[in-house]
Amino acid sequence: MIVRDEEAERGQFGEKVHVCGDRMEMRYWENIPPGFHFDPHDFPVDIAGFVTKGKARWTIDGREYITSQGDSYYLPTGCTYGLDVIEEFSVIEVLSPARK
C-alpha cells in the first residue's frame, strides 16, 4: 500500500493518517503551533514516535521530558501523558493496535 501525502485522511485533531491496518497505524502531526496543549490522559494502544521538527514538553506518568528534532519516544499502553508544544512541532507516530 502506498499513501500519497495529499491523499492521507485527517484524524480527529487534524493529523494525517498515512497508513492504517488491523494491527498498526501511522500518523503524521505536522506544524503543531507553540502553545498547543494536551491534558494528561491515557490511551489503550502503544505509541512510538519520532520528532521531525520543533520542541515539546511531555509529562509521562508524572515525569517531565523535553523532546526535540531527532528524538524518539515510546508511550506504552495505559501510561498517562500530556503535551505542551514549545516550538512548532512535527512528529511521526506509529500506534499499535490501530485505533480505527
Which pLDDT value is given to residue 14? 85
The answer to whether 77 touches 3, Cβ cutoff 8 Å, is: no
What residue segments make up the domains of the chain, in order of their start?
Answer: 6-96
Q: CA geometry: angle at 38 spanning 35 and 39, to 5°? A: 120
Distance CA 79, CA 77 (A): 6
Higher pLDDT, 9 or 13: 9
Sign of the alpha-carbon dihedral angle for 48, 32, 37, 87: positive
Distance CA 70, CA 49 (A): 10
Q: Which three three-digit cell numbers place residue 16?
A: 494525517
Which pLDDT value is given to residue 20? 87
Which pLDDT value is given to residue 63? 97
Mean pLDDT (the chain) is 94
Which pLDDT value is given to residue 100? 66
CATH code: domain 6-96 is 2.60.120.10
Which pLDDT value is given to residue 39? 95
